[in-house]
Structure 1
């Protein structure tokens, strides 16, 4: 049905988009990312692209332990 409706039937476009948005940032020369750091960078990029960047910052003195973003690590 999707093909008949002229819609995409594969995931190639989505995968390419992810590679362009996230992958290019993480694949620069000399970079090495752990799983947690890579995921965290992806979250930050998506927040920025969706204009939700300000929501990840808290008022002075406030904390949110459920939203932990680890730093990149060298492996």
Structure 2
């Protein structure tokens, strides 16, 4: 006969985003050559695609904790 059992592994719980703000992180574009461009919060990914990615491929996006979150 077949062995009994559960329905597979449990889904891992997603980390809570409560109390997390986008101001806690700064996103940078690294177009190459070691220069970083800071993205302000109003740029959508569509604008990043238009302004940066079509000009400079491949394009790296980096993020770091903001030094002085307001």
TM-score, L = length of structure 1? 0.22
Structure (1/2) with the larger helix percentage = 1
Larger Rg: 2
Structure (1/2) with the larger strand percentage = 2
TM-score, L = length of structure 2? 0.23
